[in-house]
Amino acid sequence: MAGSDPSRKAEPRPPRVDELDALPRIEQRAGELLRGHEAYPVFASHGLDLLTLQAGLQRGLLWVIEGADGGIAGYLLGGALDGDFHVLQMDVDPGHARRGYGRALLRHALAEAKIRGYAAAVLTTLSDVPWNAPFYTSEGFNVLPEAGWGAGLQVVMAEEAGLGFPMHLRVAMRRVLSSR
């Protein structure tokens, strides 16, 4: 139907085991959008492995969303960090971008996190990429100053620095899980 938004019908769900191998390819294609950015070498050389995805699925903290074509449009992998829900990775295939899939995934994951008793959600992202920090800000996340980082978040940021992220562009963000 012309003018319809396919993501309005799509509901995030846990992936089937046979769908897991599609997720690193989505991550790789999404990373290509950063070609020319200081962080591109990190995205080009590092990615999620199947064991990490399988663990997320077993914990019940991995969701996918289907595109209008029935294929996987994107995914979100969560975890726990310093007692908060941790958005470890979220990617939408560039072929499905700007259709609300990422927003639907994030909102679903945050609702699930709240049901599981998490009081807040945290993540790390790039400050200068529109579909990173500005997107998360639009969903109620705020930059968390270093003084507010717990031990786990300090480790995450140190690991990201070790991978070669341009840390002057890397931010930690947090959102209280209220009835937004």
> Which CATH number does the domain housing residue 68 bear?
3.40.630.30
pLDDT confidence tier of residue 37, bands split at 50, 70 and 90: confident
Structural domain includes residue 98? yes
144-147-152-157 Cα dihedral, nearest 10 degrees: 70
Which tokens is 88 given? 């470890």
Range of the domain at 46: 6-176
Greatest Cα pair distance in the chain: 50
Residue 55 domain-assigned (yes or no): yes
Q: Confirm whether 1 is domain-assigned.
A: no
Given this model, what pLDDT does residue 20 score? 95
Nearest Cα to 149, choosing from 118, 170, 174?
174
Name, in order, each residue with C-beta under 8 angstroms of 12's C-beta and a sequence gap of 6 or more.
63, 64, 65, 76, 104, 105, 108, 109
**Domain contains 96:** yes
* 38 vs 2 pLDDT, higher one: 38
Rounded Cα distance between 82 and 114, Å, is: 15
Please determine, for residue 3, whether its predicted confidence score (pLDDT) is greater than 70: no
pLDDT at 39: 86
How many domains does one find in the chain? 1
Report how far residue 1's alpha carbon sits from residue 55's, in angstroms, rounded to the nearest whole number.
38
Distance of CA 120 to the CA centre of its chain: 15
**pLDDT value, residue 6:** 44
Radius of gyration of the chain (CA): 16
93 domain-assigned: yes
Round to whole Å and give the CA distance between 98 and 93.
10
Residue 141 lies in a domain: yes
Give pTM, 2 decimals: 0.90
Rounded to whole angstroms, the Cα distance separating 37 from 131 reads 14
Q: Is residue 165 part of a domain?
A: yes
Q: In this model, does residue 115 exceed pLDDT 80?
A: yes
In a domain, 134, yes or no: yes
pLDDT band at 179 (very low <50, low <70, confident <90, very high): low
> Where do we find the tokens 């846990």?
14
Average pLDDT of the residues of the chain: 90
Which has more confidence, 99 or 115? 115
Per-residue confidence (pLDDT) for residue 7, from 0 to 100: 43
Contacts for 123 with CB less than 8 Å, ≥ 6 apart: 86, 87, 88, 136, 141, 172, 173
